[in-house]
Amino acid sequence: MPAPKFEPKTNRLPKALNVCIIGASKGIGASIANAYAQAGAGGLAIAVRPSSMKELIAVEQHIKESNPTVQVTIIPCDITSSTSVVDLAKRVKAKFRHLDVVDVNSGYSGPVVLTVGDGTLLTSKMCLMSTCKLYTTNIHPMEAALESLKSLKPRESLNYTKIAKEYSIDQSLLSKRH
């Protein structure tokens, strides 16, 4: 239970925002979706991998109980697939026309199998449709790699190839950002 000061029901949004939450089938993402509904969001696009659609439908039902007027749309999306993210952006745009917030809650654990960029794809595809804000609950691998470079001791050699491989990110992007 949030402290009363942070209770969504008593902290209404200034307007009925349209929000897209990726990774909303459970955990923090499901709670964020429900909190937006309680705070008076206008539209919620909740997304998750196709394998978790059943759980997402349960989240949708819970949201509708919290706020029967919020428009909820559930969309399959695997954030590790750029075509899937592009499809999500198209579907959200078709549904809401205007998007205020994207919340990326989909995390991964274990070995990273894809090269992850610096978030440009997601940011541009989702946010070009409007001036929406992007939030994430994940620690982005690029940010983690930059932190790792910052923590190198003066005598330690700087090896972009090694760090890029370790964090599964693009080496040239890493050196540009550093």
Ligand X SMILES: NC(=O)c1ccc[n+]([C@@H]2O[C@H](COP(=O)([O-])OP(=O)(O)OC[C@H]3O[C@@H](n4cnc5c(N)ncnc54)[C@H](OP(=O)(O)O)[C@@H]3O)[C@@H](O)[C@H]2O)c1
Among 18, 38, 67, 105, binds ligand X (CB under 6 A): 105
Residue 98 within binding range of ligand X, rule CB under 6 A: no
Among 18, 40, 72, 78, binds ligand X (CB under 6 A): 78
Tokens, residue 47: 């997304």
Residue 23 within binding range of ligand X, rule CB under 6 A: yes
Least distance CB 136 / ligand X (angstroms): 8
Least distance CB 96 / ligand X (angstroms): 19
Length of the chain: 178
Least distance CB 48 / ligand X (angstroms): 5
- For residues 63 and 69, give the distance between their C-alpha atoms in angstroms, rounded to a whole number: 10
- For residues 133 and 151, give the distance between their C-alpha atoms in angstroms, rounded to a whole number: 30
Among 27, 58, 62, 178, binds ligand X (CB under 6 A): 27
- For residues 48 and 57, give the distance between their C-alpha atoms in angstroms, rounded to a whole number: 10
Beta strands 18-22; 71-76: pairing state:
unpaired
Quick one: which segment of 33-41, 76-84, 93-101, 158-166 binds ligand X (CB under 6 A)? 76-84
Residue 16 within binding range of ligand X, rule CB under 6 A: no
Sheet holding 101-104, edge to edge: 71-76, 43-48, 18-22, 101-104, 133-136
Residue 41 within binding range of ligand X, rule CB under 6 A: no
Look up residue 53 and give its DSSP letter: H
Cβ proximity to ligand X: between 55 and 87 the closer is 55
* Contact (Cβ atoms closer than 8 angstroms) between residue 37 and residue 67: yes
The residue number with the shortest CB distance to ligand X is 107
- For residues 89 and 122, give the distance between their C-alpha atoms in angstroms, rounded to a whole number: 9
Cβ proximity to ligand X: between 52 and 130 the closer is 52
- What residue ranges bind ligand X (CB under 6 A)? 22-29, 48-49, 51-52, 55, 77-80, 105-108, 137-138
